[in-house]
Amino acid sequence: MDYKVLKALEANQGREMALATIVRVRGSAPRHEGTQMLVFEDGSFVGTVGGGCGEDRIRAGAQMIIEQQQSQFMQILLNDDIAMEEGMICGGNLETFVEYIDDPGPYLRAVRLVDANETGLMIYSMDDPGEKTLYAGDGRILLGPDRGLSADQVDARIRKSRLVLEDRVVLAPVLPTEKLLILGGGHVALPVARIGKMLDFEVTVADDRKEFANADRFPDADRVLCAPFDELLEGYPLDGNTFVVLVTRGHTYDGVCLQHILPGDWRYIGMIGSRKRVRMLKEALVEKGFDRDLLDRIHSPVGLKIGAETPEEIAISILGEIIAVRRGKDSKPGSVS
């Protein structure tokens, strides 16, 4: 579920609106299952289900649904005549459920889960979207009727990280906001933080130097921390939605950071540095007792190989690699959950 879209729903209570959710993708399409767009009566909207004429048709359909106050399933073919005329040649099929929001309560409860950094699972039938069940990550029913799922089944559904449609029943994981932790506040950290925020990460920048770790230097970051790295990371709340970028001023500091991060839960670690220096650091950590397989999950040298030189180019290569992990397209062993 799209947190930004759900927050917009929360902020616009009282307005007439419809929520468009991609429930199935067949063939090539610009967005995946679970992508959402909130449409208001006047045609304004928050979020995107892919842009172009397909999105325009979903938005127009959503306005009609608001007028009729009746939810509806929409199928958009991206290889039909209109799409071809507009140059949309994806060739896929977007199956979208557009729900008239009569009662925002279940979605507001899902927002509270995300705000508390907790997981959940929302289940509803497209034939009766008003009757929703929301499970907590531990299997407790927070609202709605019992759907007969055990705690293990709820957990398994959440771990899939993607919305699934089964016999017109939608099973949508509610996941915490993805977090980007940038360790080091130098030149590369600046565009990484800025672009990371554009990609909807919750961005934290940390450094042990006041001149590099301050809000004026990183206005786009959600928080900026200044303290020795070992103090910063002692008990830091890492989770399976945390992406870590190591761009400190030296491998001595990288080593300190890794000793705190590696034992925790994380989705991605990328570390800047030459192959030789990285290899030396890994060997030193192996001697300290760290598992080599775990160290091999680190992306280093960090970033996609695009010939990046400037801090901005390096940031793009790093975020490109992170996107690949985020979307399950990365080939590094153990990097994709």
pLDDT at residue 69 in the model: 96
Domain ranges, ordered by start, for the chain: 3-100, 105-174, 179-326
Asked if 27 contacts 93 with a C-beta cutoff of 8 angstroms, the reply is yes
* DSSP one-letter code for 141: E
What is the pLDDT at residue 82?
A: 42
Q: 233 φ, ψ to 5°?
A: -95, -5
Which helix (DSSP H) or strand (DSSP E) does residue 136 occupy?
A: strand 128-136
Mean pLDDT, 10 residues at a time, over the chain (337 residues)? 92 95 81 91 91 85 96 79 46 86 96 93 96 97 96 92 93 94 97 95 96 96 96 90 95 93 94 90 93 93 94 97 88 49
d(CA 201, CA 195): 9
Q: In terms of C-beta density within 10 A (0-12 exposed, 13-18 middle, 19 or more buried), how is residue 109 classed?
A: middle
DSSP character at residue 299: B
Paired residues of 133 in beta bridges: 123
Domain 179-326 annotated CATH 3.40.718.10 = no
Question: Do 88 and 52 form a contact (C-beta atoms < 8 A)?
Answer: yes
Close Cβ partners of 265 (under 8 Å, ≥ 6 residues apart): 238, 239, 240, 242
